[in-house]
């Protein structure tokens, strides 16, 4: 075999091979492109937040494909004042709230600890504490909510399909943010 040739014939040039594409080259499509963009610094999330007009609802991009997610409430799920404010401003009103953090800790122990460790330092799942994150968007409350709600690569399943409310997800985030 000659250099540059595989068992099945010549290898594609780097500029035609999807695995060799850089984040700045728009050639990758679908989940690969969005995953690369998110891994490169949360580009899609930053654009979603920056492009939001005052008073408009925040856009929650799916970590798997970068597409905006619908975050409709399940039948019977309450829309608390904190959740309503979060969806319109991106501000988690539970951050710093001692009662919410206590509730968030109990929920974290139930839903998250087995993968992310008791102190959120990571185990099977990545660390949820900074300064670096596997999913850069999780550095923000909006981004962490999007990953929790819609799921991510690996074992991170969508919490929207579990018996946890969106308001409870905000309390989990408040607890994680309280960890130093």
Q: What is the DSSP string of the chain?
A: --TTEETTEEPPPGGG-GGG--TTS----HHHHHHHHHHTT-HHHHHHHHTPPTTSPPP-B-TTT-PBPP-PPPTT----HHHHHHHHH---TTTT-HHHHHHHHHHHHHHTHHHH-TTSS-SSSPPSSSS--SSGGGGSHHHHHHHHHH--STT---GGGTT--HHHHHHHHHHHHH--
pLDDT at 55 (0 to 100): 56
Quick one: pLDDT at residue 53?
Answer: 52
CA gap 41, 167 in Å, rounded: 27
pLDDT of res. 52: 47
Residue 135: its pLDDT value, please?
84
Query: Residue 175 and residue 111: Cα distance in Å, rounded?
Result: 13
What is the reported pLDDT for 35? 38
Q: Tell me what pLDDT residue 180 has.
A: 78
pLDDT for res 179:
94
Q: Which residues contact 169 (CB under 8 A, 6 or more apart)?
A: 145, 148, 149, 159
Does 73-178 carry CATH code 1.10.760.10?
Answer: yes
Low-confidence ranges of the chain (pLDDT < 50): 1-52
Rounded-to-integer distance, Cα 42 and Cα 56, Å? 20
């Amino acid at each position: 075999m000659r250099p540059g040739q595989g068992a099945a014939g010549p290898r594609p040039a780097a500029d035609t091979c999807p695995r060799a594409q850089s984040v700045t080259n728009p050639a990758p499509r679908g989940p690969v492109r969005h995953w690369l963009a998110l891994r490169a610094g949360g580009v899609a999330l930053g654009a979603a937040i920056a492009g939001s007009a005052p008073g408009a609802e925040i856009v929650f991009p799916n970590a798997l494909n970068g597409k905006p997610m619908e975050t409709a409430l399940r039948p019977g799920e309450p829309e608390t004042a904190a959740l309503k404010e979060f969806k319109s401003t991106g501000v988690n009103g539970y951050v710093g709230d001692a009662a919410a953090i206590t509730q968030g800790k109990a929920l974290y122990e139930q839903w998250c600890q087995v993968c992310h460790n008791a102190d959120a330092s990571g185990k099977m799942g990545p660390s949820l504490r900074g300064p670096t994150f596997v999913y850069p968007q999780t550095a923000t409350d909006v981004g962490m909510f999007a990953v929790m709600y819609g799921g991510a690569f690996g074992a991170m399943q969508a919490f929207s399909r579990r018996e946890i409310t969106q308001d409870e997800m905000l309390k989990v985030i408040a607890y994680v943010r309280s960890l130093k």
